[in-house]
């Protein structure tokens, strides 16, 4: 799942995880926001750190896929180049890119964490969708 904050990535990832569980499939959700508390806690939001973040999640996803698990990666993943690098890293039938194509205004309205407000007022710099870019995918399998 890729998309702006508030686009519904985590919500959909959780629903999918529950559905897979109910069908007896072993799955794991790799949520960007959560991984940033552990595996990726040394990373910030400058382009270089986001690239490293996405690369690491791609590597973990590869391990999960090798172990026969279904992974659901839920990250903003704003740069096309890094998403495409993950696509190359993972076998074709293991990679379904889902783009949560929600208008920024709707994301901003739904987002409960208050970060858009801080970004709008300049208290947070480099917030995706406000003063950091989001490059929409050109070749995703699913667009919502
Ligand atoms: N500057 C800036 N830009 C974007 N997002 C920010 C920023 N600072 C903190 N946050 C919080 O981090 C969450 C996104 O982390 P990700 O790992 O998915 O981002 S990325 O893929 O590396 O771009 C994101 O949460 P969700 O999008 O709701 O998961 C934000 O809560
Ligand atoms: N399909 C939907 N319709 C209405 N509200 C939604 C939908 N999906 C998510 N939400 C709500 O929008 C907010 C942001 O969703 P979330 O999954 O946390 O987004 P993200 O992980 O992309 O930041 C949450 O309050 C969530 O309950």
CA angle 25, 90, 32 (to 5 degrees): 70
Architecture per CATH, domain 9-143, reads as 3-Layer(aba) Sandwich (3.40)
Ligand 1 touching residue 54 (CB < 6 A): yes
Ligand index nearest the alpha carbon of residue 128? 1
Centre of ligand 1 to C-alpha 135, Å, is: 15
- The single residue listed with the structure tokens 């903003």 is 76
Q: Which residue has the tokens 């917030």?
A: 127
- The answer to whether the complex's ipTM is over 0.90 is yes
- Largest Cα–Cα separation, the chain: 46
Q: What is the pTM of this model?
A: 0.95
pLDDT digits (tens, 9 = 90+) for 61-116: 999 999 999 999 999 999 999 999 999 998 877 789 999 999 999 999 999 999 99
Q: Tell me, what's the pLDDT at 95?
A: 87
Would you place residue 38 in the very low, low, confident or very high pLDDT band (cuts 50, 70, 90)? very high
CA of 12 to the centre of ligand 1 (A): 16
Helix (H) or strand (E) holding 22: helix 9-22
Position 92 scores a pLDDT of: 78
């Amino acid at each position: 799942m890729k998309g702006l904050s508030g686009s519904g990535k985590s919500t959909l990832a959780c629903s999918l995880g529950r559905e897979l569980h109910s069908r007896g499939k072993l799955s794991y959700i790799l949520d960007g926001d959560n991984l940033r508390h552990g595996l990726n806690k040394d990373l910030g939001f400058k382009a270089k750190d986001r690239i490293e973040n996405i690369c690491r999640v791609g590597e973990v996803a590869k391990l999960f896929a090798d172990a026969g698990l279904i992974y659901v990666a839920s990250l903003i993943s704003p740069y096309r180049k890094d998403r495409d690098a993950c696509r190359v890293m993972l076998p074709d039938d293991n990679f379904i890119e889902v783009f949560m194509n929600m208008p920024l205004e709707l994301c901003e309205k739904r987002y409960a964490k208050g970060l858009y407000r801080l970004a709008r007022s300049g208290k947070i710099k480099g917030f995706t969708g406000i003063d950091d870019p989001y490059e929409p995918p050109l070749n995703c399998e699913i667009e919502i």
